[in-house]
Structure 1
């Protein structure tokens, strides 16, 4: 059974999310369940679209310590399927979306699943004075 596509292209909000995800070392996009998934190696770190009713939502794997605080914030919700494994979701189609915060959530999720060599690349890129690094 083929899943219906959740997004119609072009989609400006999805394109912006895509740019954030694909900026990470060796990140790739794979269509699964009718939605874009972003992977580090073979492991998913972001899925776009928690459900057909909420297509413009970021499904991500939070840091376990941060998760406790995030679930107290009304903007975050527990997505179907991924939720029981500790994943959370956040809508990203609002003009009030904080894209800096969203990028931090994406990076944290990536760090939960990335291979060691990918983390080394990311940390080099993030190092003060490194090309593109700002942290």
Structure 2
């Protein structure tokens, strides 16, 4: 399993960072913590991360404009080949520029049942409102504070005599359970066969005259009840591969593609002799623009002239 590379941003003790880190040590965890960064060089969480062998970066934000500091953090994340960013007690508002660069790849944990009690003092506000339950939420980070789509939540009961401090301590236990699970689900959301098929379906059905059917036990796409131009395969005949199978101009092009990039292209069983080629979708970095191009080229090889005229090549 290719694990997602996660960078964690902290400002203090880093207890949620620790929960993410120790969960990443489990053999079935789909992510690794590859960097812990902070806006406070004295943050206690940095000491823990260093002791656990995780690279760290710290720089005081005072005296720097928000966009300048965020550019510094962005530079460190990219140098570590980070794919996702997890905020864990990071007490800095992120600049729109940073959020745009990492759109859809930043998550945060917040100590309330969003959309209730965005911002600070969540437990005191819940107690003042007489709530019987509070909780925590993991959400996608967007430009508006604590407003991104909620991924998961856990509810925590309010006990008689609770204070903001006692409630915060109990919610923190729930946070440590919730965050690793929510992060694991999120980094895997585009890696499942179902997600990859949905992406292939979107590409294929956008082509003129394309329709979906089933053949050889696989979802496939053809042109107006006629010729096939794309098959989606997942562990077909027990090969363990997630891929598409598309047409080429013939065996020569098939062989050339496989020879040029054997990690992506392969000769599919039963289809290979006629020049079809497999394009793997389970590589660490699937190039979806390239996949879309191969699907369109395959469609072009079988589409009738009237449809070819619709498409602007």
Fold similarity call, TM over 0.5: yes
Please name the residue that 1:83 is paired with: 272
Contact 2:230 2:246 in 1 (8 A): yes
TM-score, normalised by the number of residues in structure 1: 0.76
Please name the residue that 2:200 is paired with: 17
Q: How do residues 89-100 of structure 1 correspond to structure 2 at under 5 angstroms?
A: 89-100=278-289
Give the secondary structure class of the aligned counterpart of 2:290: helix
Q: How do residues 53-92 of structure 1 correspond to structure 2 at under 5 angstroms?
A: 53-64=239-250, 66-72=253-259, 73-74=261-262, 75-92=264-281
Q: CA deviation at 1:122?
A: 1.2
Corresponding position: 1:33 with 2:216: yes
**Distance in 2 of aligned mates of 1:79 and 1:66:** 14
Q: CA deviation at 1:68?
A: 4.4
- Bigger-Rg structure (1/2): 2
**Distance in 2 of aligned mates of 1:83 and 1:10:** 22
The alignment's C-alpha RMSD in Å is 2.1
Q: CA deviation at 1:33?
A: 2.1
Contact 1:28 1:38 in 2 (8 A): yes
Contact 1:78 1:88 in 2 (8 A): yes
Tell which deviates more after alignment, 99-108 or 29-38: 29-38
Q: CA deviation at 1:67?
A: 3.3
Call closer, same or farther: CA 1:60–1:10 in 2, change over 3 Å: closer
Please name the residue that 1:114 is paired with: 303
Please name the residue that 1:47 is paired with: 231
Q: CA deviation at 1:95?
A: 4.1
Q: Deviations over 1:7-48 (max 9, x none)?
A: xx9811110011011110010000122211100131000011
Q: CA deviation at 1:66?
A: 4.3
Give the secondary structure class of the aligned counterpart of 1:107: helix
Give the secondary structure class of the aligned counterpart of 2:248: coil
Runs of 4 or more consecutive aligned structure 1 residues displaced over 3 Å after TM superposition: 63-68
**Distance in 2 of aligned mates of 1:81 and 1:10:** 22
**Distance in 1 of aligned mates of 2:254 and 2:217:** 27
**Distance in 2 of aligned mates of 1:117 and 1:44:** 17
Call closer, same or farther: CA 1:40–1:55 in 2, change over 3 Å: farther
Give the secondary structure class of the aligned counterpart of 1:59: strand
Contact 2:232 2:244 in 1 (8 A): yes
